[in-house]
Chains A and B, each alone.
Chain A
């Protein structure tokens, strides 16, 4: 998104330079902090640009782009008349990513059938190997679905654990006693029994694992990679 904005800004400034004779800076405005701000900037500046940007997206229906936010941001950017998109899809249910508004008024798709039979080297990089799954790995999506079905207090307890794990990457896990102390400070649990009930639920859903710490005590660990855990916390509003 930022690169698209910079390209458009560069052309816009060049056009302004041609008319005014002064060189302009090509840095994006500093107020653009979120993706929404960048998308709005692109939509606003595209009216004044007489250039076009062609976006090529390989495997637009891949796991990295399947979340609704990514598709929404892409569809909003493609409302600009100066941006066009060519994308490849490989999944049989790819059209389910888009609603009718996105299909007809934003993306405005039309189809070309171009089978290549080239091996899925790039596409396979982001897919978990179907035959090598240990069965114990929780994906972010599955964890989110489970967490959303729990009570807000249980979610907060999980958040405490996740934040500790993110802040202390090298630690093997958080001690049960530390979890209890932090939860009591935040009024999330009133007794060890309550906390144990939450932890049992987490263990049943494979959200949390118990490890033996080097000091001999049990500690709790969330079996998710760091970036997946960060994303999970963001989704868990």
Chain B
């Protein structure tokens, strides 16, 4: 790493700003050091004003609210603090859901592993009983080949993207540690050729020792000595990605540990990404013979994604939700761009953070977490500043609401409606997911369709709801027709389900729709109908005993099979309750819709961005001296931009001399044309009247500087020995 400055006084920003910065460049210095904690505490205690200010960060606090008059308004900083607090709370809730879901998916596997470790450890302990001194001696060697085998669990991850399983192995390690095991998490870096087997042993000891090694030799004797002090527990060595390890180093490590396995009971858990044959193909035979393998399999990535969608995107949708375009973007990002659940979660967190940083009223989503909504909202909203009330009423969704009263009561009612609507939406989507499990559909596809406001508009004959929402893009018609593909498939699945599965499905629907009385009643009727069918009674006889209902009754139609009736019920639920959040008033509080912001933050795409910056420099510099036409060249433009635009005229190699001549021509046109007076640009400072030789030298210097900058950007390659007069272009097209 670079040389560092240990004394902050010797390195200052003044040096960096000086004219000799190029010659006295310091690779590393401390810009600012925070004050020690004690000093900060003393300062806060002296100024009571500061401390009081620190407590007034929540809209729930009544003391400040009482003092706040209509003229005093909370500063933007305070709103930022509220939004930051809201983000932390909401993301904590989402994060805990994610962790819980991923843990539950793997719990069965974790228990299998634990059982295997405990059984194997018991067997080893029952066969071998050694004293501490015997453990620490490498001799006599264990001669019996059978007992030199190290119990090894190969966990087939079935996932080419190993990053998703890193957390799985961490969780497994925590699970084993909490169940009386010593655990060492090792990675491919610990089995690299550079550090050899010594690095592997050092890494193993570092993780098992609670204290730093501090000069102790990292070898098996140290491990044996440590084990004597910490015995009666198995040592589990987890290697998360076995196939990335160096085969020789790993083989030697296995061989070395096999010599000690009866004295120090070690177990291997190795992650295998490709096939179960991979260890056989990778490890040397003498290492393989020391392993006593067993095979375990992780859940598939699609199962994990389905569980995530269900528990994270749907079950907490009432406090944070995604708009349709954002949902589609995230789905495509997962399916086509990256394919890892880790990236999906990162994108979700980014969307959440962007929502709370960009939407001024987003802090109000904390209200959605309250159980007793309306009463507590009334207490809080009375003290909400007028500016914030105006902000709420100026939201786009409020403006389209024709009969909206501007009072607090209306806002509270709208929030209450929003929460109720989201809960109903969530229940219906969960019911859809239950059906999707039968046909192994992706929940993410259903989620995207469920968030589509056009699907809701299409399903509703109410014209007013259609007016509220305008088509977003030209392909909306096409999108609408294909957008209901998953929902149609779900309905079709119900029609083909056997009666037993249908009954099971209705039981689950009953759980999801507990708060929806109307739906619940219909489900109970269908359950009794199915029970009758199971008992062999003719179902038509029961129809006469069931009252007709106007709203959702699907049982009035004679001759409909139970499957058809269930399908009709689901269709009715979708039409009535699956209202996209973007159709609701005040959805901006909890719904993030800015897909462009998310895309630019998530996918940097420097290859395209840097080239665009050079080709369209005027859009960033906004100088008056340059033309706004992207294709034109003017001498006042940035040198590197001129050079890059000229380079577009060449193929994969650029003749240096011709390039220089073109550049010179562009710059020389400045001396023949009058320059516009306006905002000064960097080029204008350089174009001073000078003798011809100085101008030539200056142009050459500018040319070389621009070529260097293009090289630093990675757009050019150094000339080869074969063609020293030509530079090679590397990046083509956007």
Q: Which residues of A contact B (CB under 8 A)?
A: 1-3, 6-7, 10-11, 14-15, 17-18, 29-31, 35, 40-41, 44, 50-51, 56, 64, 70, 72-73, 89-95, 100-101, 104-105, 108-113, 115, 117, 119-125, 127-131, 133, 135, 237
Closest to A133 in B: B718
- The reply to whether A237 and B193 form a contact with Cβ atoms under 8 Å apart is yes
Q: Which residues does chain A contribute within 8 Å of B548, judged by CB atoms? A: none
Check: B560 CB closer than 8 A to any chain A CB: no
Given A100-B163, A101-B162, A105-B166 in contact, is the A130-B604 Cβ separation under 8 Å? no
B709 touching A119, Cβ below 8 Å? yes
Name which of B33-41, B130-138, B259-267 contacts chain A: B33-41
Q: Is the CB of B712 within 8 A of A92?
A: no
8 Å CB interface, B668-723 against A: 682, 704-705, 707-709, 711-716, 718-719, 721
Contacts of B715 in A (CB 8 A): 92
Q: Is A92 within 8 A of B212, CB to CB?
A: no
The 4 A-B residue pairs with the shortest CB-CB distance in the complex, in nearest-first order? A111-B604, A31-B214, A91-B714, A92-B607
Among B2-10, B147-155, B450-458, B509-517, the stretch in contact with A? B2-10
A128: chain B residues within 8 A (beta carbon): 718
Q: Does B611 contact A (CB under 8 A)?
A: yes
Tell me, rounded to whole Å, the shortest Cβ–Cβ distance linking B708 to chain A.
Answer: 5
Q: How far is the CA of A115 from the CA of B611 in the complex (A)?
A: 11
Question: Do B721 and A135 touch across chains, with their CB atoms under 8 A apart?
Answer: yes
B704 touches A117 (CB 8 A): no
Complex contact A95–B606 (CB within 8 A) = yes
With contacts A92-B610, A115-B613 taken as known, whether A14 is within 8 angstroms of B31 at the C-beta atoms is: no
> Are A95 and B604 in contact (CB-based, < 8 A)?
yes
Chain B nearest Cβ from A92, distance in angstroms = 4
Q: Which of B343, B610, B704 contacts A131 (CB 8 A)?
A: B704
A113 touches B611 (CB 8 A): no
A3-B28, A105-B342 known; A31 and B215 CB under 8 Å? yes
**Chain B nearest Cβ from A82, distance in angstroms:** 12
Looking at B114-122, B312-320, B483-491, B595-603, the stretch in contact with chain A turns out to be B595-603
Given A14-B38, A92-B607, A135-B724, are A123 and B712 also a contact pair (CB < 8 Å)? yes
Would you call B1 and A70 a contact (CB within 8 A)? yes
Taking a contact as CB atoms under 8 Å apart, the answer to whether A104 and B606 are in contact is no
A56-B31, A94-B606 known; A127+B711 contact, CB < 8 A: yes
Known: A10-B36, A110-B350, A117-B640. 6 other contacts (CB 8 A): A1-B4, A17-B38, A30-B214, A90-B712, A92-B730, A237-B194
Cβ distance A35 to chain B, nearest Cβ, rounded Å:
7
Say if the beta carbon of B617 comes within 8 Å of chain A.
yes
A110 and B163 form a contact (CB under 8 A): no
Q: Smallest CB–CB gap between B15 and chain A, Å? A: 13
- Say yes or no: A105 contacts B206, CB within 8 Å: no
Q: Is the CB of A31 within 8 A of B212?
A: yes
A93 in contact with B343 (CB, 8 Å): no
A73 and B37 contact, CB distance less than 8 A: no
* A64-B2 contact in complex given A91-B606, A122-B25, C-beta closer than 8 Å: yes
Separation of A127 and B705 alpha carbons in the complex (Å):
12
Chain B residues with CB below 8 A from A123, complex form: 712
Please give the distance in Å from B714's CB to the nearest CB on chain A: 4
Q: Are B712 and A127 in contact (CB under 8 A)?
A: yes
Q: Would you call A125 and B22 a contact (CB within 8 A)?
A: yes
Q: With contacts A18-B37, A101-B162 known, is A111 near B708, CB below 8 A?
A: no
Complex Cα spacing A133 to B346, Å: 43
List residues of chain A with CB within 8 A of the CB of B613. 115
Q: Which residues of B contact A11 (CB under 8 A)?
A: 34, 36-37
Interface size for B (C-beta < 8 A) is 73
Question: CA–CA, A120 to B682, complex, Å?
Answer: 14
Q: CA A94 – CA B714 in complex, angstroms?
A: 9
The tally of CB-CB contacts under 8 A between chains A and B is: 148
- Give A95 to B604 CA distance when docked, in angstroms: 9
Q: Report the Cα distance A119→B641, complex, angstroms.
A: 12
Query: Is the CB–CB distance between A129 and B600 below 8 Å?
Result: no
Cβ contacts under 8 Å, B471 to chain A: none
Q: Is the CB of B37 within 8 A of A50?
A: yes
Set of chain B residues within 8 Å of A7, measured between Cβ atoms: 30, 33
CA distance in complex: A62, B417 (Å): 54
- Indicate if B382 sits at the interface (CB-CB under 8 A): no
Bound-complex Cα distance A111 to B206 (A): 35
Q: Does B621 contact A (CB under 8 A)?
A: yes
Q: Is the CB of A100 within 8 A of B38?
A: no
Interface residue? B340 (CB, 8 A):
yes
Contact of B714 among A1, A92, A100, A135 (CB under 8 A): A92
Q: Which of A104, A108, A120 has the most CB of B within 10 A?
A: A104
Contact in complex: A72, B189 (CB < 8 Å): yes
Contacts of A129 in B (CB 8 A): 704, 708
Contact between A2 and B4 (Cβ–Cβ < 8 Å)? Answer: yes
Identify B37's interface contact among A14, A29, A133, CB under 8 A: A14
Known: A29-B214, A130-B707. A117 touches B606 (CB 8 A): no
Residues from chain A with a CB closer than 8 A to the CB of B730 are: 92
Residues of B within 8 A of A41 (CB): 212
List A contacts of B31 (CB < 8 A).
56
Least Cβ–Cβ distance between A7 and chain B, in angstroms: 7
- Assess the A92–B708 pair: CB atoms within 8 A: no
- Using CB atoms, name the residue of chain B closest to A59: B712
Return A89 CB to nearest CB of chain B, in Å: 6
Give residues 599-633 of B contacting A (CB, 8 Å): 600-604, 606-607, 609-611, 613, 617, 620-621
The distance in angstroms between the C-alpha atoms of A128 and B161, with both chains bound, is: 37
Task: Say whether B213 faces chain A, with CB atoms less than 8 Å apart.
Answer: yes
Query: Which residue from chain B places its CB closest to the CB of A116 in the assembled complex?
Result: B620
Asked if B600 and A101 make an inter-chain contact with CB atoms under 8 angstroms apart, the answer reads: no
CA A51 to CA B33, docked complex, whole Å: 11
Give A62's nearest chain B residue, CB to CB. B712
- Give every chain A residue within 8 A of B6 (Cβ-Cβ): 2-3, 6
Cross-interface CB contact of B166 among A14, A17, A101, A115, cutoff 8 Å? A101
Across-interface contacts of A30 in B (CB, < 8 A): 214
Report if B656 contacts A (CB, 8 A).
yes
Q: List 26 A-B contacts (CB under 8 A).
A: A10-B36, A15-B37, A31-B214, A40-B212, A70-B1, A90-B713, A91-B713, A92-B607, A92-B610, A92-B713, A100-B162, A104-B163, A105-B166, A111-B602, A112-B601, A113-B604, A117-B621, A117-B682, A120-B709, A120-B712, A121-B21, A124-B712, A127-B708, A130-B719, A131-B708, A237-B194
In the complex, A70→B604 CA distance in Å? Answer: 22
Tell me how far the C-beta of B606 lies from the nearest C-beta in chain A, rounded to whole angstroms. Answer: 5
Evaluate contact between A130 and B718: CB separation under 8 angstroms.
Answer: yes
Given A50-B37, A105-B166, A111-B603, A124:B714 Cβ within 8 A: no
In the assembled complex, B572 has its CB within 8 A of some CB on chain A: no
Residues in A neighbouring B546, C-beta threshold 8 A: none
Check if A130 sits within 8 Å of B682, measured CB to CB: no
- Inter-chain CA distance A15–B33, complex, in Å, is 16
Q: Output the nearest chain A residue to B345 by Cβ-Cβ distance.
A: A104
Of all chain A residues, the one with the shortest Cβ separation from B30 is: A3
Cα distance A1–B600 in the bound complex, in angstroms: 31
Q: Which residues of B contact A17 (CB under 8 A)?
A: 38
A73 vs chain B, min Cβ distance (A): 7
Closest to A3 in B: B4
Chain B residues with Cβ below 8 Å from A3 are 4-6, 28, 30
Residues on A with C-beta less than 8 A from B34 are 11, 51
A95 to B715, CA, bound (A): 15
What residues of B have a CB within 8 angstroms of the CB of A90 in the complex? 610, 712-713
* Bound-complex Cα distance A225 to B127 (A): 61
**Distance from B171 Cβ to chain A, minimum over Cβ atoms (Å):** 14
**Any A CB within 8 A of the CB of B727:** yes
Q: Chain A contacts of B25 at CB under 8 A?
A: 122, 125
Smallest Cβ-Cβ distance to A132: which chain B residue: B704
